[in-house]
Amino acid sequence: MTSIERGESTGDARPRCYALVPCAGIGARAGAQGPKQYASLAGRPLVAWTLESLVRVEALAATLVVLAPDDTQFEALGLQREGVAVARAGGATRADSVAGGLDALLALGARADDWVLVHDAARCLLRPEAVERLIETCRDDAVGGLLALPVADTLKRSTAEGVRGERVELTVPRTAIWSAQTPQMFRIGLLREALRAGLARADLAITDEASAIEAQGLQPRLVRGDFENLKVTWPEDFALAERLLRARELN
């Protein structure tokens, strides 16, 4: 895909919706041999399941996958498909990759007032109806929003950083706490400027697109997601994701 067509034959110039999938990570925590987005899951590369869900969303005009500049696996695995474009604009961090992807979207013909839905390549259990729910809720919102789930578990903060903390330091109140998911939906121009400002700040950790928007003093809308929309991160997540995918095939 060398350009992104705008509107239908009627000349519809309303803001359109595009998906952007940062796919330049190495997946170190997953324990896979190579980038986790290409690890085999239920007989297909993990990211193939992700793209399958996105291309089934009729409200999306196109999907842009952001790869590392030296990536050779995407095409080698036959992941090209109708409605999916590729930009080798991946950077050192997720925020860098998303920023490069936004520049690529604009170069392909998208506009600053169009919507972009940034989705983790590793969230391969995304349901198209969840994306449609996000779009329907946020399309007329002044800021945008993200899929998320209210936290049900009691939260504990450990005495040590990371996953190996062995003692509880304190219990964190879970009232009004949500677990962020993706897609996260914002105007291309707004997100581009927010990421640019955030990346210039040494005191700000941009862990997702919403955090960059929040740093601009804005409040993204929370849209209820699904429990199954998990991010495949740890080795045991692959077994769970495979079971869930196999169960869907049986239904």
Q: Indicate which CATH number applies to the domain containing 101.
A: 3.90.550.10
pLDDT value at 251 more than 80: no
Mean pLDDT, the chain, whole residue set: 91
- Residue 164 within any structural domain of the chain: yes
On whether residue 8 sits in a domain, the answer given is: no
Q: CA torsion sign, 68 to 72 to 76 to 81?
A: positive
- Mean pLDDT of the 134-157 span: 96
**162 lies in a domain?**
yes
Answer yes or no: is 77 within a domain.
yes
* Domain housing 121: 17-246
Distance between CA atoms of residues 161 and 177, nearest Å: 20
Is the distance from CB of 117 to CB of 131 less than 8 angstroms? yes
Q: How confident is the model at residue 223 (pLDDT cuts 50, 70, 90)?
A: very high
Question: What does residue 199 show for φ and ψ, rounded to 5 degrees?
Answer: -65, -20
- Taking the CA atoms of 155, 161, 164 and 169 in sequence, report the sign of the dihedral they define: negative
- In angstroms, the Cα distances linking 107 to 3, 76, 87, 102, 171 are 8, 25, 10, 9, 48
**Mean pLDDT in residue range 228-250:** 91
Q: What is the pLDDT of residue 160?
A: 79
Give the list of residues 6+ apart from residue 123 with CB closer than 8 angstroms, or none. Answer: 50, 181, 182, 229, 230, 231, 232
pLDDT confidence tier of residue 162, bands split at 50, 70 and 90:
low
Does 2 reside within a domain?
no
- Residue 141: inside a domain: yes
Per-residue pLDDT tens over the stretch 188-216: 999 999 999 999 999 999 999 999 999 99
Give the per-residue pLDDT at 220: 98
Alpha helices in 56-203 (DSSP H): 73-76, 94-107, 128-138, 188-199
Q: Residue 34: what pLDDT?
A: 72
Q: Which two tokens stand for residue 242?
A: 């495979």
> Token digits for 206?
């941009």
Report the predicted TM-score, pTM, of the whole model to 2 decimal places: 0.91
The number of distinct structural domains making up the chain is 1
Q: Is residue 111 part of a domain?
A: yes
The partner residues of 18 in beta bridges, in order of sequence, read 62, 116
Per-residue pLDDT tens digits for 3-50: 665 444 345 678 999 999 999 977 544 445 678 999 999 999 999 999
Closest CA to 230 of 46, 65, 4: 46
- Residues 94-102 have a mean pLDDT of 97
Q: At 28, list the tokens.
A: 């170190």
- The answer to whether residue 170 sits within a structural domain is yes
